[in-house]
A and B are shown apart, each in its own frame.
Chain A
């Protein structure tokens, strides 16, 4: 029997709408949804490799219980009953002895995140965290400090932009299909792209302007730009008069940071900085200074992200066509969003979070996500209290949190490590119990509340029966909850019932998704009135350049610029990034994606390499105070002499993922675990490494 299923891709976290062709319970073909502008059949290479994932014999196929020492790879296959009973019994014992707060669940944010949050709320632990802080904790905090909204509540009108400035936002390699096509359309209509990165990427080759900036100095560049915009009165005065507070403070702060000053720090000529400011101001307000996806480079990350948002505010590009907008929810049209299980009433939880987010020690990061990289310290030092069990739900602390050795030592201290995942990730390999999840083509997921210029709901829908003995994560957690006596918070027996529960009150039914895979609350784009209607959520109702959020927590809005240290001879600033073929740490073992990019290499500047006697393609050792490893070199003039670069996500240690096993080097082994203590991001580009020929 042939059928078409509209669903959402999950080869990365973007959730591109897809059309799945199924025959006799086999997926025959997947393409981008024809009903969504910017998709129209398109899929990135990862999306195109979905069937390879479905058919993969090297993914998790059954619940497993460890029989040898941790990480030894000795497993016994278990039934679901057996595995869930084992985890349930162990958790019960831990909770009885140490309290529910000793249980932590970390996950990569996804559609069923409200289910895992509910799981912890139900058992009485405050310790749910997502990977978000690792990626963009400081971007989130920066957005809240200026607008009262998180970064996730803001979007970009790429299609109508006239000039976009990208700070290492590798737009054409870290692909979001709709965004890519919208920006290409804009470029076809004459939009300019300015790309700033110490490394030449595909995005750099498509840009109208490329600056190989000294690594880590983007903030200095922005201060130079702001200086010109203010000095020459190039900003949108009507907009700032109406919506922006703190202009005077900004003006006196920015005074010393001239383009000539910025040139010394960044290596970008003062005249170039001045001409960008002049040029882009002509296109205001339809311009975008992109605040980034990953914003986790330095310990003062929040101030870089704030400076980007300030540039947008000066251009008046907030809530403007071709600029940035606040995402509109169904409330805008008097409708209701999809329900979440977290809306239920739970017993109160007194314990602080393991990462101390929300306390005086760490006041500003978003408690909805927590700060993942605090986990090793919290476990090792029993600070603020002992942690005993970790449930890693499609999140790998070993490869995602910097300083793997530290993380490993912390994990060794735990009484229970459980992984819910689709792949043999490194954390799965290390776990006591693995609970295998069905992949996106084999399961229905919770609704996606897709707020934006047009609020919509999307649904990921099961296309075929699971190939192996796997279950949806939401159902796994419900079954675990039942074993802990809190099954009452999970009013569903399968994913479809959960979606139906979520839909109550929205005015939509499950059948409404059959035709296109999504439903829209309205067919008109909603822009707020730029004169009177922008609903900012700061206490003052303004864009707060001097932030009350920061002030209250005891942080400055405009701390003096601290120069970025230069690495000494033979040392480099380690930088990391993505390519089009892979998603973080999760796709390296995919048959086709592994064929495209099987391992990472170390980009090193040709002059620097020559000085060290390193030949292109030769093996080099990379070491920091935190760890070391070997990797092939890529000697090139396409990277700044102060930086070296490697793709994130390689160097897997799980033998069962045989294609990716031991291929390349994991950046987490080398990086140190330090954070922006204001914003919440780790500083992933703040480790100096020594590079030597082997």
Chain B
């Protein structure tokens, strides 16, 4: 059962990549793997205004994860209690099948250990009652670690405020 939902409030994202550095710092990663990544599309002019999309791409921790199904050794697993998809390095043989299976390229290659590394919502932190590294350090707090069943209606709240400001 997938318990968590990581919401990116794109209106507040400034594409600074602090989340990526926070993630790599927490996992002690070498140059190369980007367990989460902000992909910038644009800027390009829409009428007179330049617009860009800064899209945050962690692992989405699918309810039915293809990477888990593809993993031949059982290293890629979905945690029963909260649905976090993680890789057990004891079992990973570095075959990269999960990298091929994931439609979003979430599993990454860690050349330092010859195994796959992926977003596990910082299980170490979550289990201590903390938020994932990326969410904690996000410069603008545009990342929100939410309960998937009851996320804060951030966009609705903003829309309602904007409408209320009209009168």
Contacts and interface: CB of A to CB of B under 8 A. Distances in A.
Contacts of B18: 42-45, 47-48, 580
Nearest to A212: B50
Interface in A40-60: 40-45, 47-49, 51-52
Interface string A21-48: 0000000010110000000111111011
B1 to A, nearest CB: 28
Interface stretch (A150-158, A199-207, A548-556): A199-207
Interface in A185-219: 188-190, 200, 202, 204-207, 209-210
B102 to A, nearest CB: 22
A29 B134 CA distance: 12
B90 interface: no
Contacts of B139: 42-45, 175, 177, 180-181
A432 B8 CA distance: 51
Interface in A151-187: 172-173, 175, 177, 180-181, 184
Among B15, B25, B52, B162, which residue has the most Cβ atoms of chain A within 10 A? Answer: B25
Contacts of A188: 158, 161
Contacts of B48: 210
B35 interface: no
Contacts of B162: 190
A34 to B, nearest CB: 10
A48 B25 contact: yes
Contacts of A184: 12, 140
Contacts of A47: 18, 137
B69 interface: no
B43 A180 contact: no
Contacts of A52: 21, 25
Contacts of A177: 139
A205 B25 contact: no
Contacts of A189: 161
A593 B21 contact: yes
Contacts of B45: 637
A261 to B, nearest CB: 22
Contacts of A175: 14, 16, 139
Nearest to A41: B136
Contacts of A41: 136-138, 141
Contacts of B24: 592
Contact of B25 (A204, A592, A637): A592
A9 to B, nearest CB: 12
Interface in B31-75: 31, 42-43, 45, 48-52
B16 A173 contact: yes
Interface residues of A, number: 42
A48 B21 contact: yes
Interface residues of B, number: 31
A596 B20 contact: yes
A592 B21 CA distance: 6
A205 B42 contact: yes
A190 B45 CA distance: 23
B165 interface: yes
A595 interface: yes
Contact of B140 (A42, A173, A210, A594): A42
A212 to B, nearest CB: 9
Interface in B108-129: none
Nearest to A211: B48
A178 to B, nearest CB: 10
Nearest to A638: B43
A591 interface: yes
B26 interface: yes
B22 interface: yes
Given A31-B136, A48-B18, A204 B161 contact: no
Contacts of B165: 190
B17 interface: yes
Interface string B134-167: 0011111100000000000000001001100100
Q: Which of B45, B136, B165 has the most CB of A within 10 A?
A: B136
Contacts of B138: 41-42
Contact of A172 (B14, B136, B161): B14
B137 A200 contact: no
B141 A205 contact: no
A202 B15 contact: yes
A206 B139 CA distance: 15
A555 to B, nearest CB: 38
Interface in A41-93: 41-45, 47-49, 51-52
A173 B48 CA distance: 21
A591 B21 CA distance: 10
Contacts of A595: 31
Contacts of A42: 18, 137-141
B9 to A, nearest CB: 10
A581 interface: yes
Contact of A45 (B17, B51, B141): B17
Contact of B21 (A45, A180, A181, A206): A45
Contacts of A202: 14-16, 52
A25 to B, nearest CB: 17
B160 to A, nearest CB: 12
Contacts of A32: 137
Interface centre among B18, B158, B162, by most chain A C-beta atoms within 10 angstroms, is B18
A190 B165 CA distance: 8
Contacts of B22: 43, 48
A581 B137 contact: no
A596 B161 CA distance: 36
A563 B42 CA distance: 34
Contacts of A43: 18, 22, 137, 139
B100 to A, nearest CB: 24
A180 B142 CA distance: 12
Contacts of B15: 202, 580
A223 to B, nearest CB: 23
Contacts of B43: 200, 204-205, 638
Contacts of A591: 31
A657 B50 CA distance: 37
B157 to A, nearest CB: 10
B50 A596 contact: no
Contacts of B158: 188
A580 B17 contact: yes
A200 B42 CA distance: 10
A173 B140 CA distance: 12
Nearest to B26: A29
A571 B21 CA distance: 38
9 contacts: A31-B137, A43-B22, A44-B16, A52-B21, A173-B16, A175-B139, A581-B17, A592-B25, A595-B31
Interface of A: 29, 31-32, 40-45, 47-49, 51-52, 172-173, 175, 177, 180-181, 184, 188-190, 200, 202, 204-207, 209-210, 580-581, 591-596, 637-638
Interface of B: 12, 14-18, 20-22, 24-26, 31, 42-43, 45, 48-52, 136-141, 158, 161-162, 165
Pick the 3 closest A-B CB pairs, nearest first.
Answer: A48-B21, A580-B16, A172-B14
Given A44-B18, A173-B14, 7 more contacts: A29-B26, A45-B20, A45-B21, A48-B22, A207-B49, A592-B24, A596-B17
